[in-house]
Each structure stands twice: as structure tokens, then as C-alpha cells.
Structure 1
Amino acid sequence: MNKLAESLPGRRTIIDRRQVADALNAELVGLGDVLARRQAIVVTLREALAAGRREVSARLARNPTRGRDAVTAQAFLMDQIVRLLFDATVTHLYPVSNPTAAERLSVIAVGGYGRGEMAPYSDVDIGFITPYKPTSWTEQVIESMLYALWDLGLKVGHSSRSIDETMRMARSDLTIRTALLEARFIWGDRGVYDECVRRFDSDVMQGTARSFVAEKLAERDARHKQMGDSRYVVEPNVKEGKGGLRDLHTLFWIGKYVNRVRTVAELVDVGLLTRAELSQFQRAENFLWAVRCHMHEISNRAEDRLTFDLQIEVAHRMGFVEKRGRPPVERFMHLYFLMAKTVGDLTGVFLAHLDDTMARKGRRYIPAIFSRPRKLDGFVLDRGRIAIPHDDFFRERPVRMIEIFALADKHDLQIHPNAMRALNRDAVLIDRKVRNHPEANALFMGILTSPRDPEKVLRWMNEAGTFGRFVPDFGRVVAQMQFDMYHHYTVDEHTIRAIGLLSRIEKGDLREDHPLGSAIITRINSRRVLYVAVLLHDIAKGRGGDHSLQGAEIAEKLCPRLGLSAAETETVAWLVRYHLLMSATAFKRDLADYKTILDFAEVVQSPERLRLLLLLTVVDIRAVGPGVWNSWKRQLLTELYDAAEEVIRPGHKQRGRQERIEEKRQKLSQRLGIGDKAFDKLVKHFPQSYWIAEPDHILEQNARHLLSAGQTGLSIEAQPYPERGATLVTVYAADHPGLFYRIAGAIHLAGGNIIDARIHTLKDGSALDNFLVQDPLGRRFDAPEQLARIKTYIEDALANRQKLLTKLDQRPLPRTRAEAFEVVPQVIIDNKASNRFTVVEVMARDRPALLLSLAFALFQSKTMVHSAHVATFGERAVDTFYLTDLLGGKLESKSRLATLERRLLDAADNRCGELLDVNNFAMSG
């Protein structure tokens, strides 16, 4: 019997193997046909498997946090099914009365199943071992068993080898060696299994521990890199991700290979874990297994990525409820990330124990850097890592818990895992007295503003629990997820990454991506103001209310403690209060509208604040996650910065707005090479807003498009735009009411999803509109047939050659990840943001055809769209429109504005088909 199952209560309620075997034998005796017997075996086992799974599932429902019990019960059930199948196969299908020495067969479990762990839809990993080359009898038995297991609907990972072949392959293949390391006897010939285990120990494991450890750690690092190399990604892989189950398994594999332990508990006996660490190991493993089992049951398949929709359901199944204003899903994910952190901490101390053990034996798994320990302000160097001289070192003077990180930063040293363990244990000693200690605060500020690598050392402080203790407000956001599709990391990880990005910009490492930031960071008056602002910009997340306002209040209290002056404190508080202002203005407002610049400059007021705000904005956006930062955002932020500086420092700008436009004109003229007269004729109708809104390469693309269009009244171009991972669709047409809506509808009908739209009304009354388009799954939409379809659909829509509304009503909308989120639609209508236009901002849950629905509502309301600004923040879309009535004036009537608001709210809240289901609609508009 599987020893893990010995403690499993009520095993026979899961499956009573003897009872099933007796019933199956009685039925098979009366069947003479082999095919009928095989069918009877499958039917009986299918019923037993289904009943067992129902019982295991019911147990998990009753005890939703006991993951270890669930996976042990599942493995026990599978053991009994395999045993029943083996006995029925060799007794009733292929009996052999006098087996030869070669006609022996052992069935073993390998991998996770070998450990006695199996989630509901995990693969059944089994091996068939024969003493020599397989005989016809063993081949028949193996083939029959595999077909039966497949008929049961199981996904089987299997191998069939002789003992010699097994040893040969294990020596050359790390995966096979790891699987055999956990091999467990299920049924058949026990002697064959015992001989296989003996040979594996003597022929494969003996003398290869060092190489095995190195290969497993390299394999782990490669896996982490593939999974995002952070344990704080907001949709983690519970099995393979950093801080997941596979990391715990890796520790056990290494311990078992090096010290021949059979269970995790035995890692304590050989000194690789303490009893407290074993308890942490088991608690984390139990939690992660519970999460994975619930994911499998919800998905009805082997699902290991904890996606947003699964997070909500798993949180509900595991009994999380709302508390202190925090929804169940955020409380669940907070615990998940704390468990992932525990796994990371265990990995560090485990490898330290392993290294110390091997060093005593004269073999080291982690290479030494310094051979002689040296004293360093009371600390010591242990083989190149800063360590503590004795266990009470931090208790004697708790400020040392900050000092160790300052020394690690100053001298570029690793911290010994034993010191990290002491830090985790003694972090509770960081009290108000330590937090107010001038030396401790000076040391912390030195780390935060280090010219070397503050990100690395701050992450160590966070993992040790020291960071959150020293800055309690930061401790509140440790492992706190932001339940949205925009942020890729937890709040603490996002913040530490932002600090790292700021350091890299300051060192000039990101000059190509951030030329403006790299240039102005040398001109700021106070580095520490900027670094502290980055540290605090999201520190009030998760408290309910406006985190910017609350964060500013925290800054006012914390900055003096950190040693900042009153003026510096005021600036940090202002930056935290307005850290979203620049991105909101750049991405949601028309920068060609001069009032937008004036309103922004009125809030900023000083060139120093403008420089600081730009740098904070850049690192905040880029630290959100991979792929969030792009050249379009860089251009908009640069344009806003330049325009605002021109207002704030009149006469001090080297290049004003007009000069920048002229520079763009000259660059475009050189690229086109068409002569001055032809160029002036081409661009004389371009408004100032067009030059500001579009980057140089789009200006060139649009110009060549217009040149090729000639006198044609309508011209459409669609081409790949790899930099944005999308397709650029350009439409040049006579402007009229409904143009924007019809183009959006045609793109949707063609299967595209608009992720950005820049609408330009030229001086001659024509429209030049640029759309960025992806497919509904966020991929590039650029196959030749797709591009042709987009152009055809737009031509037909604008020429009124198809019943657009009918087709839109019939087209189904795909489900998206955003549907896991509840976003209450909001419409803001502002007649003060622009002198010429009514500015309408719509916030809603992102979905395919959202822009189409909004465009149709604007068309229904008899408005002209002069510019549109599409911004998407994960599941949340914020679309801003600059509108006039059909005569070119602002929308002033209260009743008309109320109607517009209602239509936009309906459009944001409803499916496209529901909105567009109108009768007798005149396409000519």
C-alpha cells in the first residue's frame, strides 16, 4: 500500500478494491469471449473510478483547504484502479500458468504520481519494468492495460523498458532520472521493482549528486525565466511558476538524490530543513495543492494557470469572504503570494544547508568567492557572502538588520541564507524605536538611492521581511495583488521594479528607450525626492478610496522620518498626489488643444516638478509589466512635457511647439523627396493637431498613402505595425456624420478589434483616420486575406453597399478575459476642458466592438467626432472623444447632454447587437 495513504481516513469509501475485484471476477468467469471480458473490465472500472472521484471531490468540498488529503486520495484511487486492471488482465485476458524468468512485469508510478500526489485531471505517469527484453506476453499485457486506461478517459504518460534499458536512459536523460527518483511500486512482480531500485542507486545515483544538483538548479532557473521570473505575476502558474509546486518538488528531489531520503520529513533528519521550515514547507504545499485541485475541478481539465476568472471561483470555494473592504479574491491572492514567498525563502535556506553540509564533506555546490572570512563592522564574510558572527547578533542591536543590507549594497555582496533566516526570524524586533533611529533611516535612504543596484537589495529586504517592518505602510502592500488585467505584478513587486528602472535610467542604461528621461534626470535638484516618490506612489493601494490622496498623506508623515526637509516632503507628497496626472493627460486628452496644456501646466507650475513627474510617470508605466511601454506612449509624454515646459518657462525653450512641427515637416519632406511645391500642396491641409499627434513614421505612411490616392475620394490602406503588435488601418475619406461609426463597424465585421484610434479632420473637410487593429485575442491582424477583408468591408460600409446593422446584429462576440471583472460604466462630459469642443470621457469594461457601440451612440446623438483617444488599462477601457454638433459648436443643451450620457452608458453596458437592434435606420444618416 502507498504509505502516504495509510493515514488516509475511510479509504474504502473512495474505493473498496476487494469488493470491486470480487464482483468483477464473478462477472468475467461467465464470459468466454476476450473482447466481452475487456469491455466488462472497462465498464466496471469506469464506474468505480467515477464513484471514487465523486467521493474525493466531496471530501475536498467539505475541507476545501486540505490539498494534501485530496491529492493523496486521488493517487490512492488510481493505485486501486491500476491494480484491479493488472489483476484482471493477467488473470482473465492473458493468463500464463508457468511463467518464465522473462515473463515477469512490474508496474510502477513515476513523477508526481510516484510521490503519491495527483490532482483530479493530472496525467497518470506509469512505467512497465521487465527484467529482460519484453516477451510477447508482457507486450500483450502492457498494450491491453494501456488501451483500457485510455478507454477510461485517462491521460496516460507511460514507458515500457527492461531494467538495463532503464538504467542506460536514466544516465543520459535528466527527466527520466528525476522520474525514477520518485518511482513507487504499484503492482506486479515486486522482485523486478526491487532490482530496478537497487540498480538505480548503484549504477545511476552513485557519485552523480553534484551534477544532478547543478542540472536541477539550471533547469529551475530556465523554467522561472520562461514563466516570467517573478513569483508575483498576477496570473501565476501554480505548478511551474516561481514559488509554485515545482520549486518545492525540486528541493525534495535534490534532498532525496543527495541524502537518499524517502519523505520530506526526513529532510529534517539530514539537516536540510529545520522543524519550523518543514512546517512551512508542508503548509505551503498543502495550500498550493488545494488551489490546483480546485482549478482542475472548475475547469474540468488539467489547468495550472491561475487566471482571473479562476481566482474568483477558487477564492469562493476555499471560503474567502470580504473583510475590511477587501474582496475575497484579493484576500485569497494575498495569501497565495505569501505562500509563494515562503517557497522562495525555503529554497534559499535549503540550498544554504546543502552547501554547508557539502562543505563539511569537502564538496561545495555553491562556489566560494573568498576563501578567508573577514570581519566587516561586526559582520563576517563566509565564502564571499555577508553573514552574522553568532545567532543573537541582530537581537543585540536591531539596527543591524538595516545595516546588513547597506553593507551588501556598498560592497556588492550576497547575503548568506543563514543570515536571511535570522532576519526573517528577528524582523519582529523592528519596532518604533528602530524605525525612528536616525542611523537606521540614513542607512535605508542610502540603500533606496544607491547609485549601484537598489532594486536587488530592496528585493532582498522585502524577502527577509525587513522592508515591511521598517516601513509598515509598505508592509501593507507586500504580496497584495491588484485584481485587474493591467498590472502584471503585486504592488510591492511593481514598486521595487519601478525603483530599479529609475536607477537604470539614471545610469544611462535605457537611453534608447527613454531619451528624454535620460537627459533630464541629470538636471533634477533632489535625487532622493524622486526615489522616495517612486517608493510611495502606490503605497496606499488596497485601502479603499483614492490611493493618490491617501498616499500623499502617508508621504507627509513618513518623509521627515526618512530625513527629508520640509520642502522635499512637500514635493514628494505632491508627486504622489498627482502621479497619474501626466499619463491621464497624455493618453486621454488632445494635446493639440492648447487648453489641455494650460490646464496641465497650471497644476504642475514648476519645471522641477515637471521633470520629476515625467520620470515618475515613465517608470510607473514601464514597471506595470512587459509590453506596456511603447513608442506611442513615449511620443505622447514627450509632446506633453515639451508643450508644458514651453508654458511654464516661456522664452527658455530651445524648441517651441511651432519649431517642433516645422522640424517634423522638414523630416517628412526629406523622406518623401517630392519637391517643395508638391510637398506644400500635400500638407497644406494638415492641422497643427495632426503634426502633434502622429510620430514621424506614421506621418510618412499617411503621406505616401495620400500621394498614391491622388484625386480619389476614398482611399483605404491596411498594413502590419509590428512595433505595436497590431495592424495600422488608414482611411482617407470625405468627412460626414457617421463616418467614424461606419469604419468601426466595418472593422468589427471583418473580425478586427480596435485598440487605438486617432481621428483627424483636415482643413479641406476631409478625414484622415488611423486605427490600430488586433484580432479578439490580442494578436496581429495581418494575414493577406485579413487585410483585404478589412479594406473591402470599409469600402462597402462607406458606400452603403451592405446592411451594416443587420450584419452587426448577427455577428457573435467572443468571450474575453475581461469578462471576469466587474467595471461600472462611467461617462464624464466636460465643456471646460476645451475652448472649441465638448470633451466626453467614457470608462467601461473593455470588450470587442466597444468602440463601435460608443461610435454608434455618438452618431445617434447627431455629433461630429473631431478626435478620439483610445486608452486600455487591462480590462478597463477609457475612450475620450472631442465632439461638436453638426454645425461645429459645443453641445450646450442640458437635455441633449443628458440624452448623450444615457446613450453612451447603454452602449458601454450592452452588447453591440442589443444596442444596434433598431428599426428603419437610414444608412445615409
Structure 2
Amino acid sequence: MSDRFDAIPSRRAIIDRRVLADTLAALDGDTGALRGMAGALLKPALEAGRAEVARRLAEHPQRGREATQAQAFLIDQIVRLAFDFITHRLYPTNNPTSSERLTIAAVGGYGRAEMAPFSDVDIGFLTPWKQTGWTEQVIESMLYLLWDLGLKVGQSSRSLDEMVRMAKSDLTIRTALLEARYVWGDQALYDEAAARFDAEVVAGTARTFVSEKLAERDARHKRMGDSRYVVEPNIKEGKGGLRDLHTLFWIGKYVHRVRSVTELVDKGLLTKEELRRFQKAENFLLAVRCHLHIVAGRAEDRLTFDVQPEIARRMQYNDRPGRSAVERFMQHYFLTAKTVGDLTGVFLAHLDDSMAPKGRRFTLSGFRRSPRKLSGFVLDRGRLALPSEDWFQKDPVRLIEMFALADLHNVEIHPQAMRIANRDARLITAKIRNDPRANALFMDVLTSPRDPETVLRWMNEATVFGRFVPDFGRVVAQMQFDMYHHYTVDEHSIRAIGLLSRIEHGELKQDHPLATTIMQQIVSRRVLYVSVLLHDIAKGRGGDHSVLGAEVAMKLCPRLGMTPAETETVAWLVSKHLIMSATAFKRDLSDFKTIIDFAEQVQSPERLRLLLALTIVDIRAVGPGVWNGWKRQLLGDLYQSTEEVLRLGHKQTGRAERVSNKQQTLEEALGWDQARFDIYRKRLPESYWIAEPDDIIASNARVITEAGDRSLHVAAQVYPARGATLVTVYASDHPGLFYRLAGAIHLAGGSIIDARIHTTRNGMALDNFLVQDPFGRPFDDEGRLKRLEVGIEDALANRNRLNDRLAARPLARPRADAFEIAPNVLIDNKASNRYTVLEVHARDRPALLNALAYALFQSRVTISSAHIATYGERAVDTFYVTDLIGDKIEGTARLKALEKRLLDASGIPATLAPSPEGEKAVA
């Protein structure tokens, strides 16, 4: 019995091998019957053992190490029973030859005795030389019996020579064998294999192995998103996950030939405190993985939104004011991932000390230059280090100064210095937080013209950041339980600062040309960086984080050395940091009152510039794929229109001139004669010329020309400027047109992100839709564009029974179903002078827009424009509407009825909209 299982209590309650062995020995029958009877006996024992392990985990949900060891213990007993039964009863050998020897080794996770409920059983069969007929029979029977038990077996069958040869050539095989553990069979053969592995594979290759494992780790991190703060982490392969801990142990074991993690302390690769943190992190991650397997009912390592609440419940987390149980659980997860990152840094530093030649570094890149003015700090192989263990205790301000020096001189910080900073961060008291020198140093880092993101992240990982700015410490590792935000609050904020710095340096000019330009015009640079830091600092407090964040800013900014004017501007930016995106994405920018209302809140060109820069980095730092050309265009349009109002005054100055300029531009592009162009120009209302940009106006003119006298024409083309496909529909106007178009685009696999509905003076509808595929990309090949056009034409001509096809299309979104979002309808008759503005908040789902548009059709309203915004699982659809005679919708009873229809449509419908009786199809 391996001593690694000694800590498991009441092992026989999991499985009693002696009783089962006696029962197996008493079985009687031929070979085929015996195998079946053995399976029938072992399978219930396996299931009972698993149930007992699961029961213990439910009773003590944080004991991950015990649960995984108990699972491995259970599998060990099953394998031993199977091997003894097969070699004694099915294929006995009275006088085995030297070739008829066989040993079974557990490798990989099974070798570590680290098995979640549905982990693979990784087994290595070892023979002294080439397999004999007997060993082939035994191995084949073993595999069939284990498969019959429902186990997923990963197996290899090798001679000792094959094992050595393959381990030398394949890093994965070498790593698996590094974890090898004797399970059963010929003990002497296993000992010989272990000795040959050490002597012929490991000896003299430590440096190569370490380099390859670190390169493998870096590639894995990059593949998994290169952040330990993604909100749906992979607990095994992700950064800060179990595989990072495994890598540390593999390196230590390979270099020093230790058998357990505790022996790494004796080798100087971990301190006793670091060992405690290693084991605590490992225990937590193993517990989470076991619960995840049980909840998923299969082998699963990704902690997705739909399972997080259940695992939080199983691990006994409870709600707290302002934070749910799942958010508290995930914060614990991210703090654990951070611990893994800290351990990795100090482990590699210890490895450097033990393996690198004097004056050189083994694992990390070298240093290029030697700064002189280090205020008493020293350099250790190119990294900023401490002259003594009590360096911070003598002057705690040095905890901030260390990061300022690292930024100023562009040097890395020695992991040992990071470890001591982590230990001494508690020295940052109110006195240090109010120290002018400490605050000036912090502002130097935050507003650095070099690389503030990297140094702030180091400061955060050392816990110095959260100690110095306690309000920031409250959001460290805090997740936002939604499908929109990809990172924790602290990671999001630090990434936003990094993006701002890159925009300022001109590195993102292609993506953000306007922001790159205005960054050079901004006078209040310090204000911008501080507002980016603070914009989400009050999340998780149970109120409006924008308002609460402004209160934090009013208290913190003076401490940071900011003037009253700067403080006021930071507080304003934090309180209003969502207004620009909300206006751009949820309001009609062609409605001049939208611009006037926004300009009245912004009040100055400098605030407008600051707000645009803050809005861009806030959106882009949410995660990959969130920023796109459509959002850039809308924010740019809002900025330009508001800047014009602020510059010229709060009047509708230039509206007629803009219309005239657009018409002149179109006339020059088309080359039509004056009479023909005048006829075309008069067919379109002024609102059309204001709403649409020049390129869409020109495209629409071509579509209408191609349509001729036809009553229906559809054109789809890629629109790179907004990262979408432009779909233009020119058709006879009639009630219900919009909801049919929305349904047809959904059936074609498209998602509408913006829609503008125009009616010409000769009774035709001219509708422009911006459409993306489910991955937020444009339809960009001819085949898909053609299918989109044909699908819309068929739907409007009623050739394909649109509503039957919509009803048959699946609506489920399992991940989105994890979130409770109560539908809400906001009706605003003040946001526009001409229209009633309807804003619908609901859980996003396929065909939602079709359902809402049908509800509006039923309510007998006319849609002028629709603006669709999606924030993960939450959809916010805004409609500018009038009644059938073009007036705003008023009257309490009618507004209540409209609200009810939209609320009903926001939920999952029992049946989709039927075809309205008597409605004529478009010819």
C-alpha cells in the first residue's frame, strides 16, 4: 500500500479489496463466463466507491486533495483485483519465464494520485523485452475488463528499451513517466524501469527539460488567453491553474529527483510558508475540479457561467451585501490563481539561484544596462532587488518606490523582492497612504509615459496596490457574473490603463485614429489616467457603481495630489463613464435632440475628449472581440456631432448645410443630370440625409436604381468600416415589414446590430440593416451574401412559411440561461422631439428582435429606427416609434398596453408570432 494513501480515513468504506478478492476467488466457470462474472462483481464495487467519495466531498466540500486521493485509491484497488483475477484465474502461469513478467504503473494524473471523478485512468504496462503471448493476453483482458467497468483508459504497452527510447524523444511521454507510480505486478521490473529512467533519460538533461517545460507553459498560457483573470477559466490548463502547479513540481522533481512536493523545501525551491500556500492552492483547485466533474457529469475543466452558481452552492459560499455567493466563490478562485502566479515567480527565482552560473540568469532573459541611481536598491542579475530582508520595514514608502524605480529604469523586479513586498505590504498604514512622497511615486507609476500596465500589475500581484489604494483592494479578483465582462474588475482596469498608454504612444492608430489624434490635444492627462483607474472601483457595493465611484474619487484624488479642479473632473468622468456608449449605441444620432441632450451633460470640448478616450479603453478592455468597427463609427459620429455643437453653440446650426453637402457629394458621385437628381433628392425626407453617412447614401442610390419599377429589391454587401454586412431592403411599405425582415435575417444566421427605417415620399420603404454573424463578424463570402438576399426576398414574398421556420428553430442558450434577467421596458417621450423612445432590456436570445418587432406591429406603431446593443447575456434594444399618423404615442392606457406587449415578447414565447390575418404578402 502506497504511503500517499495513509491520510485517507476509513479506506475500506470506499472499497474492501480483501472481501472482493475472496469473492472473485470463489467464482467458477469457463474463461468467458468468469470475465463476465468479474465485471458484474467489480462494477457495483466501483460505483459504490465513487458514491462514497462523492458523499465525503459533499460533507467536506473543501477537501480536494483527500477526494482525488480517494478516487485514485479506489482505482488502484480495482486495477489490482482485475490483474490478480486475470493472472491467477484466466491466464495462470505455473513456471513463468523471465520474459513473462509484467508490471502496471500509474502515470500522469493517476500517477500523482490526483483523480477527479471522471478523470482518465492512465496506465503504463511494462515488460522486460518484447511482449510474449501471455503478456499480450493479460494486457488485452485487463483493458477489456476496465472498459466494461466504464472506465476511460489511456494506456501504453512498452518494453523497457521502448520506454527509454520514447521518453528521450517525446517531452509528453517523459513528463508522464516522471509521475509514474507502482500499482501492481512485478515490483523488481518496476524498480528496474525507474532506475533506467533516472540513469538514461533524466541524467544530464535537467536544463533542457526545464527550458522545454517553461516554453510549453508559455504556449499553453497564450492558447488559454494569457491571463489568470478570465471569468470562465480553465482550472486545469489556464494560467494560475493546476497545470502551473504541476509544472513547478515536475521541474523540481526532474532537477532534484524528489518524490513529493514537501521535499522541495529541503532543496531550497520553496520555503515552508510557500509550501503551505502551494498545498492550500492545490487543495482548493482540486476540490473545484471534483465538484465540476460531478456537476457536469463528465470530465470537464472549464468553469463556465452555467456551472459556477451550483459549485458555489456545493462549496458552501453564501450571499453577502453587494456580492452574490458565486461572485465570492470566483473571487476566491482568482485569488488562488494569483497565489499560483506568485509561487511560480519565487520558485523560478530559487531555481535561478541553484542552477544558474554565477552572475547569469538561467530561466529568464538577461539585463541590458545598469542604472546607477537606485536609492539604495540593488541589482541581482539585472533585476531590482533588496539589500536586506528588513529594507521595507525601515521605510515602508520604499514599497511604492520599488515599483517607481522599476518603471523609471525599465527593469524587472526580483521575485524574492516581490515575495518580501507581499509579506510587508501590511506596513502600508494610513500614515503611509497619506505620505506626499508615496502618493507622488504612485502617480509617477500610474501616469508613466513608459509601460504603466506592467508595473501596476506587478504592484497588484504584490498586494501593494490594494493596500495603498484600499478601494482598489476591494475589487481585486472580483468577478462580474455576466457574459459581457471577460476579466475581473482589477484586471479590466489595469488593462484599460495599458490600452490608454498604447493609444497615447500611437501603437493603436489603425484601430483608433480619432482617439490617437485627440490624445495629443488633451490637457488634463493626469485626470484621464486617474479616471480610467477609478471608473469601476466601486463595483460590488450594492449600488450604482458610477455614483459610488465618484464619491471615492472625491476622497482619493486630493490624497494623490490632485487640484480641486482635477478632482471634480475625475469625479465627473467616473460618474458619467457609461453615458457616451449608452448614447452612441442606444440612441438615434440623427435625431438632433440626442446630440443636444448629450452636449448639455458634457459641457466642454476637453471633457468630451476625456470621455471619448475613457469610453474606448473601457469597452476594449472588456475582452477580445467586444470592440469593433461599428462601435468605433458610432462613437466617432457622436463625438464629431457633439464637438460641433460645443464649438458652434447649442443651436441646430449646420443641419441644412450638412444635408446640402451630402446631396452635393452624392450628385457628384452619381453623375446624373440635374433634373434626374432633383427627382431622386425630393423622394427622400430630410431625416434620411441626416441619418445616413455618405457611403450608405451612395449605396442606397445604386440599389434604388437597380430596383427600377420592382416593388422589392434586396442587396447585401460587406461594410468594412463598421465590421458588418450592410443589408439594404427597398420594398413597398406595409405594416409588419420590419418584423418579417428581422425574422428572415435571423433565419439566415444573421444578427442585426443596427437598423434604420426610412419611408420615401412615393410610399416605398428604404431600410438599412447592419448585420453580423453569431461570432460578431460580417458575412463576407458571395454564397452567404446571396443566401441572405434570397432568404429576405422569400420571407417578404411569404414563400417559405417564415413563422413556422422560426418556431422550429431552437431557442436555447444554456450559458445565458444561468443568468436571471427580469425584462424591463423604459418609455421616454422626452428624449426626442418627434418620436417616442422605447428601450427594452431582456435576456438575449435568438429571434428576440423579431418578437419585439412583432409586438410593436400588434400595437400599431411605426418604427423609425432600431438600435440593438448586446452586453453578453443582456440585450438592450431601442426603438424610435410613432403612431400610425406620425405623432408621439401618448395616453396612459396605450403606453401601458405597449409596455405589456413588449414585456411579454421579451420572455421565451410559447409560440412565435403567427401570420397576421389578412396581411398581404409583398408581390
Q: What residue identity is the alignment partner of 2:273?
A: A
Per-residue CA shift, 1:857-880, capped at 9, x if unaligned? Answer: 101100000100000011111000
Give the 5 Å matches for 1:77-156. Answer: 77-156=74-153
Which stretches in structure 2 are left out of the alignment for 5+ residues? none
Deviation at 1:706, TM superposition (A): 3.5
Per the alignment, do residues 756 and 706 of structure 1 end up closer, same or farther by CA in structure 2, a change over 3 Å counting? same
Q: What residue identity is the alignment partner of 1:642?
A: Q
Q: Is the 8 A contact 1:525 1:608 kept in 2?
A: yes
Per the alignment, do residues 90 and 400 of structure 1 end up closer, same or farther by CA in structure 2, a change over 3 Å counting? same
Q: What residue identity is the alignment partner of 1:520?
A: I
State the distance in 2 between where 1:698 and 1:211 align. Answer: 59
The counterpart of 2:597, out of the listed 587, 596, 599, is 599
The counterpart of 1:353, out of the listed 350, 354, 364, is 350
Give the 5 Å matches for 1:367-516. Answer: 367-369=365-367, 376-516=374-514
Whether 1:236 aligns to 2:226 is no
Q: Is the 8 A contact 1:607 1:645 kept in 2?
A: yes
Q: What residue identity is the alignment partner of 1:732?
A: Y
Q: Which moved further from structure 2: 69-78 or 736-745?
A: 736-745
State the distance in 2 between where 1:478 and 1:580 align. Answer: 21
Per the alignment, do residues 807 and 629 of structure 1 end up closer, same or farther by CA in structure 2, a change over 3 Å counting? closer
Per the alignment, do residues 693 and 142 of structure 1 end up closer, same or farther by CA in structure 2, a change over 3 Å counting? farther
Using the size of structure 1 for normalisation, the TM-score is: 0.95
Deviation at 1:703, TM superposition (A): 4.6
**Number of the residue aligned with 2:301:** 304
Deviation at 1:725, TM superposition (A): 7.5
Q: Is the 8 A contact 2:359 2:381 kept in 1?
A: no
**Number of the residue aligned with 1:833:** 831
Per-residue CA shift, 1:455-502, capped at 9, x if unaligned? Answer: 010000000000011111011111000111111100000000010111
Per the alignment, do residues 832 and 167 of structure 1 end up closer, same or farther by CA in structure 2, a change over 3 Å counting? same
Deviation at 1:17, TM superposition (A): 1.2
The counterpart of 1:759, out of the listed 747, 750, 757, is 757
Per-residue CA shift, 1:260-319, capped at 9, x if unaligned? Answer: 111011111111111111111111111111111111111111111100011111001100
State the distance in 2 between where 1:686 and 1:46 align. Answer: 76
Per the alignment, do residues 676 and 445 of structure 1 end up closer, same or farther by CA in structure 2, a change over 3 Å counting? farther
Per the alignment, do residues 664 and 188 of structure 1 end up closer, same or farther by CA in structure 2, a change over 3 Å counting? farther
The counterpart of 1:558, out of the listed 556, 559, 569, is 556
Q: Is the 8 A contact 1:816 1:847 kept in 2?
A: no
The counterpart of 1:641, out of the listed 635, 639, 642, is 639
Q: Secondary structure at the match of 2:252?
A: helix
State the distance in 1 between where 2:493 and 2:676 align. Answer: 52
Q: What residue identity is the alignment partner of 2:393?
A: R
Give the 5 Å matches for 1:729-744. Answer: 729-744=727-742
**Number of the residue aligned with 1:578:** 576
Q: Is the 8 A contact 1:809 1:917 kept in 2?
A: no
Per-residue CA shift, 1:737-795, capped at 9, x if unaligned? Answer: 21111222333445554444343444544223344556667787778886666545533
State the distance in 2 between where 1:799 and 1:916 align. Answer: 17
Deviation at 1:48, TM superposition (A): 1.4
Q: Secondary structure at the match of 1:892?
A: coil
Deviation at 1:136, TM superposition (A): 1.9
State the distance in 1 between where 2:371 and 2:799 align. Answer: 83
**Number of the residue aligned with 1:365:** 362
State the distance in 2 between where 1:509 and 1:373 align. Answer: 27
Per the alignment, do residues 300 and 728 of structure 1 end up closer, same or farther by CA in structure 2, a change over 3 Å counting? farther
The counterpart of 1:886, out of the listed 862, 884, 887, is 884
Deviation at 1:180, TM superposition (A): 0.6
Q: What residue identity is the alignment partner of 2:434?
A: N
Per the alignment, do residues 136 and 86 of structure 1 end up closer, same or farther by CA in structure 2, a change over 3 Å counting? same
Per-residue CA shift, 1:384-435, capped at 9, x if unaligned? Answer: 1011100000000000000000000000010000100010000001011001
Q: Secondary structure at the match of 1:518?
A: helix
State the distance in 2 between where 1:678 and 1:119 align. Answer: 75
Per the alignment, do residues 10 and 471 of structure 1 end up closer, same or farther by CA in structure 2, a change over 3 Å counting? same
The counterpart of 2:46, out of the listed 25, 44, 49, is 49
Per the alignment, do residues 695 and 132 of structure 1 end up closer, same or farther by CA in structure 2, a change over 3 Å counting? farther
Q: Secondary structure at the match of 1:468?
A: helix
Q: Is the 8 A contact 1:108 1:183 kept in 2?
A: yes
**Number of the residue aligned with 1:10:** 10
Per the alignment, do residues 268 and 860 of structure 1 end up closer, same or farther by CA in structure 2, a change over 3 Å counting? same
State the distance in 1 between where 2:701 and 2:465 align. Answer: 54
Per-residue CA shift, 1:885-913, capped at 9, x if unaligned? Answer: 111111112211111011111111x2233
Per the alignment, do residues 201 and 294 of structure 1 end up closer, same or farther by CA in structure 2, a change over 3 Å counting? same
Q: Is the 8 A contact 2:465 2:472 kept in 1?
A: yes
The counterpart of 1:285, out of the listed 282, 286, 310, is 282
**Number of the residue aligned with 2:24:** 24
Per the alignment, do residues 441 and 147 of structure 1 end up closer, same or farther by CA in structure 2, a change over 3 Å counting? same
**Number of the residue aligned with 2:525:** 527
Per the alignment, do residues 15 and 803 of structure 1 end up closer, same or farther by CA in structure 2, a change over 3 Å counting? same
**Number of the residue aligned with 2:617:** 619
**Number of the residue aligned with 1:74:** 71
**Number of the residue aligned with 1:58:** 55
Per the alignment, do residues 520 and 685 of structure 1 end up closer, same or farther by CA in structure 2, a change over 3 Å counting? farther
Per-residue CA shift, 1:522-550, capped at 9, x if unaligned? Answer: 11111101101111111111101111111
The counterpart of 2:710, out of the listed 709, 712, 717, is 712
Per the alignment, do residues 355 and 682 of structure 1 end up closer, same or farther by CA in structure 2, a change over 3 Å counting? farther
**Number of the residue aligned with 1:193:** 190
Q: Is the 8 A contact 2:633 2:722 kept in 1?
A: no
Q: Is the 8 A contact 2:580 2:635 kept in 1?
A: yes
Q: Is the 8 A contact 2:346 2:419 kept in 1?
A: yes
Per-residue CA shift, 1:678-699, capped at 9, x if unaligned? Answer: 7776666455555565566655
Q: Secondary structure at the match of 2:212?
A: helix
Per the alignment, do residues 721 and 115 of structure 1 end up closer, same or farther by CA in structure 2, a change over 3 Å counting? farther
State the distance in 2 between where 1:667 and 1:168 align. Answer: 74
Using the size of structure 2 for normalisation, the TM-score is: 0.95
Q: Is the 8 A contact 1:284 1:339 kept in 2?
A: yes
Q: Which moved further from structure 2: 215-224 or 736-745?
A: 736-745
Whether 1:747 aligns to 2:745 is yes
Q: Is the 8 A contact 1:849 1:912 kept in 2?
A: no
State the distance in 2 between where 1:485 and 1:743 align. Answer: 28
State the distance in 2 between where 1:722 and 1:299 align. Answer: 41
Deviation at 1:357, TM superposition (A): 1.4
State the distance in 1 between where 2:789 and 2:624 align. Answer: 32
Give the 5 Å matches for 1:814-893. Answer: 814-893=812-891
Q: What residue identity is the alignment partner of 2:377?
A: F
Q: Secondary structure at the match of 2:301?
A: coil
**Number of the residue aligned with 2:244:** 247
Q: Is the 8 A contact 2:628 2:723 kept in 1?
A: no
Which stretches in structure 1 are left out of the alignment for 5+ residues? none
State the distance in 1 between where 2:681 and 2:500 align. Answer: 40
Per the alignment, do residues 822 and 747 of structure 1 end up closer, same or farther by CA in structure 2, a change over 3 Å counting? same
Deviation at 1:593, TM superposition (A): 0.2
State the distance in 2 between where 1:388 and 1:733 align. Answer: 75
Q: Is the 8 A contact 1:441 1:563 kept in 2?
A: yes
Per the alignment, do residues 683 and 58 of structure 1 end up closer, same or farther by CA in structure 2, a change over 3 Å counting? farther
Q: Is the 8 A contact 2:717 2:785 kept in 1?
A: yes
Per the alignment, do residues 46 and 508 of structure 1 end up closer, same or farther by CA in structure 2, a change over 3 Å counting? same
Whether 1:175 aligns to 2:172 is yes
CA RMSD of aligned residues (A): 2.6
